Amino acid sequence: MRNLTSIQPGPHRNRTAKLTELARSFQEWNSASNVIARLTRRLNMTLSLEAQLTILAEEVAASVPFDALHYRHRVAHQDFVFSTGVGGPHKCEYRLSLEGHCYGTLTFHRRQKFSEEELAGLEMLISAVIFPVRNACQYIAIEQAALTDPLTGIGNKRALIEALNCTSALSTRHGAPWSLILCDLDHFKQINDNHGHVVGDHMLVRVAEVLEGAVRDSDQVYRFGGEEFAVILPHTTEEAGKQVAERLRKAVENIRVDGGETPLTVTISCGMARHLSDEQPDQWLARADEALYRAKRSGRNCTRIASGIA
């Protein structure tokens, strides 16, 4: 690779000629009819993995007809699946590997068998995909890391706020019931003070695991603060939300963590609020927090429901 800082300017005429040649070369590349050049150009214009796979499907279909394309990869602890078309009995599969890392599996399906020439063409096209797909996967991982609590592996406060914004809009638009539960560990400071932060962190991890295990796949659990968790419940009424909060509270009561002579236990207080029509996310969160505060004042290890007034 040349060091750009070492290039010395020549006479004005030479610089003008070089710039003209560079502009012409870029224009030719930008308008290239060669499918590989066009595919590479289009792929490098986005970091969206879904958009890249859509572009790939379009370009491949123009050269090698197929009936279905399927892509699967686990990115940042989440399964990413992309499919287009309806499959046939014949297929060819490619594992996208680069520098010892796998960036997913591409599978093409067709009702008719692929010829050797078509397979060679597919392999040429797919070779142009690996680097852009690698970049897109890394971008997803970086984005996901910014929304994940590093200790527990669940969503962090930023992820919660984004989810509340989206959820509030959906609830208002469709009129579907959504509920929010805030959970706070009771007297958690005593665990840290008496047993150390390593034990305290282990307790937080166990609580996160238990909360996730006690809700549906469609429900989302977040670590909202130091020892505070939040759970968003789609299509859940106030009464159903209260039942979930009680189930979470009882599940946490059963946690046992090694604390030396006797196992450590912990309880949680819960505040639950259903989303009101046209309610802003911060208002919804504030009502759930107020209900949590009442649960704390009521002796802890209990659930309180927010008022229906925003």
pLDDT in tens, 206-251: 999 999 999 999 999 999 989 999 999 999 999 999 999 999 999 9
pLDDT(262) > 90 = no
- What's the rounded Cα separation, in Å, for the pair 295 and 20? 73
Q: Are 240 and 191 in contact (CB under 8 A)?
A: no
127 with 181, same domain: the answer is no
Q: What is the tally of structural domains in the chain?
A: 2
CATH assignment at residue 20: 3.30.450.40
pLDDT in tens, 42-70: 999 999 999 999 999 999 999 999 999 99
Q: Considering the domain boundaries, does residue 5 fall inside one?
A: no
CATH assignment at residue 172: 3.30.70.270
pLDDT(175) > 90 = no
pLDDT(179) > 50 = yes
301 with 178, same domain: the answer is yes
126 with 248, same domain: the answer is no
pLDDT(166) > 70 = yes
* Mean pLDDT confidence for 177-191: 96
- Return the minimum-mean-pLDDT range out of 5-9, 156-160, 208-212, 251-255: 5-9
Confidence (pLDDT) at 259: 79
Is 209 a residue of the active site?
no
The mean of the pLDDT values for the chain is 88
Which of the residues 93, 117, 212, 227 is marked catalytic? 227
Q: What percent of the chain clears pLDDT 90, i.e. is strictly above it?
A: 77
Q: Considering the domain boundaries, does residue 4 fall inside one?
A: no
Q: Are 154 and 243 in contact (CB under 8 A)?
A: no
Pairing verdict, β 303-305 and 268-274: parallel
35 with 90, same domain: the answer is yes
pLDDT(31) > 60 = no
Confidence (pLDDT) at 19: 55
Q: Which of 145, 175, 207 is at the close of a domain?
A: 145
263 with 159, same domain: the answer is yes
Own/partner contacts of 294-299, CB < 8 Å, gap of 24 or more, are 295/269, 295/270, 295/271, 296/184, 296/186, 296/269
pLDDT(12) > 70 = no
131 with 76, same domain: the answer is yes
Q: Are 135 and 99 in contact (CB under 8 A)?
A: no
pLDDT(23) > 60 = no
34 with 111, same domain: the answer is yes
- What's the rounded Cα separation, in Å, for the pair 112 and 89? 8
Confidence (pLDDT) at 90: 95
40 with 131, same domain: the answer is yes
Q: What is the residue range of 26's domain?
A: 15-145
* Mean pLDDT confidence for 162-187: 93
Confidence (pLDDT) at 35: 86
Q: Considering the domain boundaries, does residue 7 fall inside one?
A: no
What single-letter amino acid sits at 237?
Answer: T
Confidence (pLDDT) at 232: 97
* Mean pLDDT confidence for 94-123: 94
Q: Considering the domain boundaries, does residue 173 fall inside one?
A: yes
155 with 124, same domain: the answer is no
Q: Considering the domain boundaries, does residue 105 fall inside one?
A: yes
pLDDT in tens, 268-303: 999 999 999 889 999 999 999 999 999 999 999 999
pLDDT(140) > 70 = yes
Split at pLDDT 50, 70, 90, the class of 30 is very low
Q: Where are the beta strands (DSSP E) in 32-161?
A: 68-75, 78-85, 90-98, 101-110
- Sorted by sequence, the CB contacts under 8 Å of residue 219 that are 6+ apart come out as 231, 232, 233, 234, 244
Q: Considering the domain boundaries, does residue 114 fall inside one?
A: yes
225 with 290, same domain: the answer is yes
Confidence (pLDDT) at 77: 75
Confidence (pLDDT) at 20: 63
Split at pLDDT 50, 70, 90, the class of 8 is very low
249 with 183, same domain: the answer is yes
73 with 134, same domain: the answer is yes
What does the block give as tokens for 99? 């520098």
pTM over 0.75: no
